[in-house]
Structure 1
Amino acid sequence: MKALAVRGTQYAAGLLLGTLTAVVELIFALLGGLALLLVLAWPHGRRAVRQPLGDVAARLAHLERRRLGRFLGARISSSYSSGHAVRYVVARWPLGLLGGLVVFCVLLGLLYAGYAALGWTVDDIEYPWAVAGTGLLGLFLVFLAGQSVFGLALLEGHLARRLLGPSHHDELERRIAQLATTRAGMMDAVDGERRRIERDLHDGVQQRLVALGMLLGRARRSRDPDRAAQLLLQAHEESRRALAELRDVAWRIYPTVLDEAGLRAALETVAERTPLPVHLTYEVPEPPRSRQVETVAYFVVCETVTNVVKHAGATRITVTLRRDGPRLALRVEDDGVGGADPAGGGLTGLASRVAALDGRFRVDSPAGGPTTVTAELPCV
């Protein structure tokens, strides 16, 4: 109930601001229509008038997009033409004035209800039924107008998406292009992972196994028992190092703890294995429904922390995961020297992983630091 009241208050504030902008849009519609009427028979004049009208309408539409996103929770695409902006501004002002009228009715109902409640504090009430009726009428007006506030908020977003947003055909084309890009990016990321695994096995585990075989061969050919025992001890140590490196490679491919204990336990393990201090904040009351989301979130944190240890020259790392409505918000920050290249191979691979799930990935790394990597992943 509290969240509903907070949302209703936010919507009402957005509708009030929309009433102010509707007055400006009404003046724009009147003056713009008059200007076009004066040059209706003059083609060059029409073109000369349409350009400034389109610029003014684009500015008004930009303000409306910010208002809708801040107060009404409607995300509107910015890829619209000046012609779309003009049509939207001209069509929106009646809805904006209606929003102000609805909010006024809410305030009027609250005033009636408050007046009735205040009346009952008086000892002698001459007309108790009139006071009670006034209070009930005020509450009924608040109920009806409150419902209209939520309905108008949805209608505002629908109108903006209908007149400003891309058409269904354009949206499908954009989506197809996005899927083709993310598919190509994922293929590059997979190929990069394969090359990295091959390099780790060739330069690490394979070299350890070769050294182990050489030590065992020398121990087998040795006629000195003490020398053979020393070689066997070295072979034993080499086998331990090979096993440790093999476990590291397997961990980087996919950690089993992610399936067994969940994302939080996997990230805590990453923090424990990192040589730098890692402060982990995990505020995700319910795990994502998709295992792929947890996997991508894990690899974003793991690869980013690895890059920080290798290249950033940092002294500490902060990792934060929060549930932000239907999305999982992830943030990794360090106090290193900065200057990370978002177009680098590792960060590009992470961006491709996130984009494959319709998520958002951003790297902010000015020279001198700090470096901040953020990602948003859909949880549903």
Structure 2
Amino acid sequence: MAPDSLPAVLPGGADDPWHQRMRLERELHDGPALRLSALALRLGLLSHRCQDPALAEGISGVQDELHAVLEELRNLAGKLYPPLLDEAGLGPALRQVAEHAEAPVAIVDNSERFGTALEGATYFAVAECLAALPVGAPAVEVAITREGDEMVLAVTGLEPGATARLQETARSLGGRTDTGPSGSPETAVTAVTARIPCA
């Protein structure tokens, strides 16, 4: 998942950038994507009924192109606001990102939900951190919990410089971050803990 460049603004209304992104993703899915799927299906039926082999082959080629465009459209919609983030929350959406990381990543959460704007902002910040992992990097853990009226996002195992986006996002949302070693002196790794106010 490519990281995003929109600022992590967390206003109170449904017109914040993250709600807008979620609406755009749904519109792409429910509009053009469904129409392309239906068109590809109709072309498949035409191809099977066609008596002219050359024409049937041409129709099949157009159908393949439609499938490719549909996949590109779905990928684009997912970059706006991943459907899994809306449906299941921050933990499951980050697990999907972790599957494509260049290093082992464990996502630990308890299925807590934090709202569209907060989940959107933190998702893209953490996704950027994970996308920057080099091949063969040490294992990383991302733990997501709620403590009182704060979301606590603890990321362990990243290089300190790789967490800049996460720290910037936390500050822009009225939160704070702490950075320090974690574990025994022999196995110490960097840990960044972001504490961000949530409803």
TM-score calculated relative to the size of structure 2: 0.52
Aligned partner (choices 119, 127, 131) of residue 306 of structure 1: 131
**2:118 pairs with 1:293:** yes
Mark the CA change 1:375 to 1:246 in structure 2 (over 3 Å): closer, same or farther: farther
Give the equivalent residue in structure 1 for 2:175: 359
Higher strand share: 2
Give the equivalent residue in structure 2 for 1:265: 92
Give the equivalent residue in structure 2 for 1:319: 142
Structure possessing the higher relative contact order (Cα contacts under 8 Å, 6 or more residues apart)? 2
**Partner of 1:270: helix, strand, or coil?**
helix
- State the structure with more CA Rg: 1
Give per-residue Cα distances to partners, 1:233-275, cap 9 Å, x unaligned. Answer: 4544443333223222211211233333333333343344556
> Does the CA contact (< 8 Å) of 1:363 and 1:372 recur in 2?
yes
**2:183 pairs with 1:378:** no
**Partner of 1:297: helix, strand, or coil?**
helix
Q: CA RMSD in A?
A: 4.0
Structure 1 residue identity aligned to 2:90:
L
Distance 2:73 2:179 in 1: 31
**Partner of 2:174: helix, strand, or coil?**
coil
Aligned length: 145
Distance 1:334 1:235 in 2: 47
Distance 1:376 1:274 in 2: 24
**2:62 pairs with 1:240:** no
Distance 1:378 1:304 in 2: 21
Mark the CA change 1:352 to 1:339 in structure 2 (over 3 Å): closer, same or farther: closer
Following superposition, the deviation at residue 186 of structure 1 comes to 5.5
Mark the CA change 1:235 to 1:281 in structure 2 (over 3 Å): closer, same or farther: same
Structure 2 residue identity aligned to 1:298:
Y
Distance 1:267 1:232 in 2: 39
> Does the CA contact (< 8 Å) of 2:95 and 2:107 recur in 1?
yes
Following superposition, the deviation at residue 328 of structure 1 comes to 1.7
> Does the CA contact (< 8 Å) of 1:328 and 1:377 recur in 2?
yes
Following superposition, the deviation at residue 373 of structure 1 comes to 4.7
Give per-residue Cα distances to partners, 1:82-110, cap 9 Å, x unaligned. Answer: xxxxxxxxxxxxxxxxxxxxxxxxxxxxx
Gaps of at least 5 residues in structure 2 are 1-6, 10-16, 18-51, 181-187
Mark the CA change 1:341 to 1:352 in structure 2 (over 3 Å): closer, same or farther: closer
Mark the CA change 1:230 to 1:363 in structure 2 (over 3 Å): closer, same or farther: farther
Higher helix share: 1
Mark the CA change 1:339 to 1:328 in structure 2 (over 3 Å): closer, same or farther: closer
TM-score calculated relative to the size of structure 1: 0.30
Gaps of at least 5 residues in structure 1 are 1-184, 191-224
Mark the CA change 1:242 to 1:332 in structure 2 (over 3 Å): closer, same or farther: farther
